[in-house]
Amino acid sequence: MKVLITGGAGFVGTNLALDLLESDYDVKIIDDLSTGLKENIPVGAEFINQSITDINQIKEVIKDCEVVVHLGARGSVPRSIKNPIATHDVNSTGTLNVLEAARQNGSHYIFSSSSSVYGSNKTLPKNEEMILRPMTPYAASKLSGEALSLAYAKSYDLPVSVFRFFNIFGPWQRPDHEYAAVLPKWINKCLQGEEIEIFGDGEQTRDFTYVGTVVKIISSCISNKVLHPEPVNLAYGNNISLNQVITILKKSFPNLEVRYSQTRSGDILHSKNDPKLINSLYSEISVKNFEDSLLETIEWFKSKKK
């Protein structure tokens, strides 16, 4: 079976491609390398350096693929606030293009949305029944992607699976660009012997999800063709504070120094999912605990540095 991964040169895509190749799938990747790295594309994966904003390209590329995992996106909330049109072009119109190509080909289509769609809804823990109130162009673009995906499932009987990712971390995540996520950025700083800055008192929490778990879920979704009529939150109810992260980092970097600065306006204080639905749909998936996953990730970054 051949799987097309859009955005396959990115963080989640690289991990997924490695896993699928190991399980003897054929893997094709389409990525415009805007944040993804060519050198991270695993040996054995076919690579097409194109943008999903070109509908003719994506229609051509998908032709021999039974499944498409749509990860390609212009990530980052601040980036979307700076340039909402570019975010819309890739995340909304690009998603429509991928859907149209999947429809033409009858491919199982798997979409990666984001917990940011909850926006101003502060109720915790999150579940799939709650109202969605995006607060940024990025979140709105992801919600439009969800809506289009579900509309294609209903209108064209397309096999569709929609996941909402929370804060994913693990190997292959880039620490080195302007909009890098907090964990790879901090691990990188530790490796350079630099101080870490926390905005606020460090008690803000995130539902961090290990990329290995995300990959296991997507692989299971592909091999068992798990379809669900609504989006499914992919997070396990971790409630990890940034101060807890620091405590774990100090096990590997005892000399780590931390500076606390003023809270940034707009930062969400807490994020946590109720994992009832994901557990019921994917009861066979075992989830590694946060500390072990973070220590494994640190070791990966150390070995990469060597």
For 175-197, letters b (16+ CB in 10 Å) and e give beeeebbbbbbbbbbbbeeeebe
Comparing CB distances to ligand NAD, the nearer of 172 and 282 is: 172
Least distance from ligand NAD to the Cβ atom of residue 120, Å:
18
Please give the positions annotated as active site: 138
Round to whole Å and give the CA distance between 192 and 189. Answer: 5
* Beta-carbon count within 10 A of 268 CB: 16
112 binds ligand NAD, rule: CB under 6 A: yes
Stretch that binds ligand NAD, among 24-32, 102-110, 199-207, 294-302 (CB under 6 A): 24-32
**Span from 127-135, 161-169, 245-253, 259-267 in contact with ligand NAD (CB under 6 A):** 161-169
Pairing of strands 205-206, 240-241: antiparallel
Residue among 80, 65, 30 at smallest CA distance from 51 = 30
Pick from 3, 5, 31, 298 the residue near ligand NAD by CB under 6 A. 31
Which tokens sit at 117?
């769609």
* Residue 63 vs 251, nearer CB to ligand NAD: 63
- C-beta of residue 116 within 8 angstroms of C-beta of residue 77: yes
Residue 165 within binding range of ligand NAD, rule CB under 6 A = yes
Pairwise CA distance, residues 27 & 40, whole Å: 14
- Selected range binding ligand NAD among 32-40, 249-257, 262-270, 298-306, rule: CB under 6 A: 32-40
Smallest gap from residue 257 Cβ to ligand NAD (A): 26
Residues that bind ligand NAD (CB under 6 A): 6-7, 9-13, 30-36, 51-53, 71-75, 90, 94, 112, 114, 165, 167-168
